[in-house]
A and B are shown apart, each in its own frame.
Chain A
């Protein structure tokens, strides 16, 4: 066992949050920080210079966590047994320097002001009895206005491409009229629009809806960020999600926050290192972390502050694994709050069309070269006479279609059999002529959906895996049925020759990719009685441990989580830098 000299901050994980903390905290101070990253080092150049290998990146998951060594288990409910997530399906946590943000799709949202008041808003507007007894959604401890300055900084750090919809209270044409008030426009104009996105935009505008270009963490043009990184605009090559960007147009820690952090000389990332637990002293304070390196040697890295900055699921697991004298059930869990309010994302393609004589170039572009509507998201529409709460963004299918990952299901609903002469001839004819209208909906929290340690399955290091207990509820099934009808209306206005609609939301299944948006499990709140951390991600019962990322979300709104992960990390970084070290160990 090797014991290192103490540092000020150690992070578990070397991804987005860790690099944001390092870039904000280190340059103006003399603090030292170490990050422990389970995956390898990787950089835009040369690692992504030659990566257009569909098989390797789409089907063999080259950028994802190595789940042959440790994975997660799942069961639909408390009565059913759990089984390991043996192969990638529902979600794709990444590994390697920069984390999942290297292979992400790059949709960069601000959550809606209403999203932060999910419970009180619905109670006030529709009555307490509209919230099902099992639903444990709660308000965030902060509101949109608290986060706005950090959303603003994040967008300029990343060079987000988009069109403002609400600038200083003024609603602008072509943007998202439902967004919260912003102080500045996006730093870059929207990405180039796809042909299918254009068709969706025209059709939905014709239905008096409000389409706008997807806000993207992908540069639409050359950009020099506030740190002095100069980056190229997107080349629309069509190899984006599940790949590292070869030109650095897709924002990641590698393009943005790692260079200024490493420039200080006081930031070190140790790759190939896996943290086993957070060490604590008799008084309950964290003293550092214990980890193994790629050769299996054990290390202890003492630190004043420990940050769980890995993927949602691993952050929750790390808290639960860190059981000690003062925290017999794990850090943050003195009041049994860890694992509660695990949520996900309702991501489906309910309506699909086929055009006999129109092809769309779906293989170009990326996951953001489309348009969206927010008319049916959150509480942007009246729920008085509806049988559900919440909603979803509705979007046209974007770009980056590859035959190896699309052909399996593309013709479901159009061809009788997904093989044979008819299937082959249809695939050849229509591969670029089938498009979907998709929903990305919210996921409310329920008492029966939660995370805990699996009693049976252990990883390569003998530690219990995290067990996910999750399934959809009536609210989501009703919401899906409503949204599917809206998707169908828009799709039909796009004049396809054939239409197929999947109105019913089936049971949750972990084998089908939906989104890498597992959220909650170590939620933030106003009070130690209903949450694990305060609004800074600072753990109530162990104030020198912080949690970053989407595990903090009390429930998940109908939007990709990354923008808010970044805004929260900027806010936490500022608080640690400016206030924590003046009074270490005290609650912010």
Chain B
């Protein structure tokens, strides 16, 4: 059956087919071995393909677990319920289906959903001297690591699996119960530790940095101090690190938080943002074709709409290279 969604899907991929062997666009060939002007002869199958990265959303929003076990999903939802609390009247991350979104992200991508360089050598941090790190690793001072961005070698799937396990171990260590069985206040105390752990490298660098620079010139009126200090003591952070073992507690927390924001605000086709609740929360009309200059100054009545509710563009619009696309060309340099 040809659904509207699959038509749209194929539409948006035509012309992106240059990477598929043999498909040739007029004026643009993937290499000079294909027949010139083969765009007209490419079959539909050749045109509709999954690109190497950032594939289009699934045809149907997923509604069953494909990566997490039931137990893991329950634990993840306990965490989500504290990150973005809610209920049926005022949906939070759980009600928006964020767990389904994350499950789909981890199931559909191996290992990363965004382009990621995954080859070594990898970084290993030291506190005092580079000689602390194992042979073959790149020694980086612990307080500098945040500046280099993502450097982990562990795929996100493993980070989730091990991180969720560690979260329960840490809850047991601190309060003698599984995370999901703790009250909201206790759960928040745990998440605060993880959050603060993630900011430790940066905070340490900023303290060191400003000490080395000497005195400021008095612009202290309303300087923001976020991130420069954390409320959790070093002892507590060290303990969390020890219990989490091979997973970085701050890195795990940050990954869940980032994915939660994605699941709240990505198009519902990806499994989260159920009933457009994320977009309704912030008042974003989402997929619209246009706003007028008047609306830019006075606001709009447009209501949130998913991208599959967008009207199709006029296929006969001239310009934009379409003429060149259809016109046969004498190709040069075909050897």
Contacts and interface: CB of A to CB of B under 8 A. Distances in A.
Nearest to A415: B226
Nearest to B279: A403
Nearest to A369: B296
Count chain A CB atoms within 10 A of each CB in B19, B54, B221 and give the residue with the most: B54
B107 interface: no
Contacts of B312: 49-50
A361 B300 contact: yes
Contact of A272 (B31, B117, B260): B31
B114 A59 contact: yes
B147 A412 contact: no
B149 to A, nearest CB: 3
Interface string A348-381: 0000000000010101110001000000000000
B319 A255 contact: yes
A183 interface: no
A255 B83 CA distance: 44
Interface string A253-296: 01100110011011111111100000000000000000001110
Interface in B104-158: 112-119, 121, 123, 138-140, 144, 146-151
Contacts of A553: none
B237 interface: no
Q: Is the interface of A mostly helix, strand, loop or mixed?
A: loop
Contact of A4 (B8, B150, B335): B335
Interface stretch (A66-74, A109-117, A151-159, A166-174): A66-74
Contact of B261 (A265, A301, A407, A477): A407
Interface residues of A, number: 129
A255 B12 contact: no
A268 B297 contact: no
A403 B282 contact: yes
Contacts of A404: 261-262, 265-266
B313 interface: yes
Contacts of A420: 82-85, 188
A507 B27 CA distance: 46
B53 to A, nearest CB: 6
A82 B102 CA distance: 32
Interface in A408-455: 408, 412-413, 417-421, 423-424, 427-428, 431-432
A228 B324 CA distance: 13
Contact of A87 (B21, B115, B278): B115
A413 B224 contact: yes
Most buried by B among A53, A246, A265, A511: A53
A3 B335 contact: yes
A83 B122 CA distance: 8
B30 A236 contact: no
17 contacts: A4-B333, A34-B332, A53-B57, A54-B265, A55-B267, A74-B148, A87-B115, A247-B317, A248-B319, A254-B321, A265-B329, A294-B21, A361-B291, A417-B192, A423-B84, A432-B282, A502-B223
Interface of A: 2-5, 7, 32-34, 37, 40-47, 49-57, 59-62, 64-68, 71, 74, 76, 80-81, 83-89, 97, 192-195, 198, 229-232, 235-238, 246-248, 254-255, 258-259, 262-263, 265-273, 293-295, 297, 299, 301, 359, 361, 363-365, 369, 399, 402-404, 407-408, 412-413, 417-421, 423-424, 427-428, 431-432, 456-457, 477, 481, 484-485, 488, 499-504, 506-511
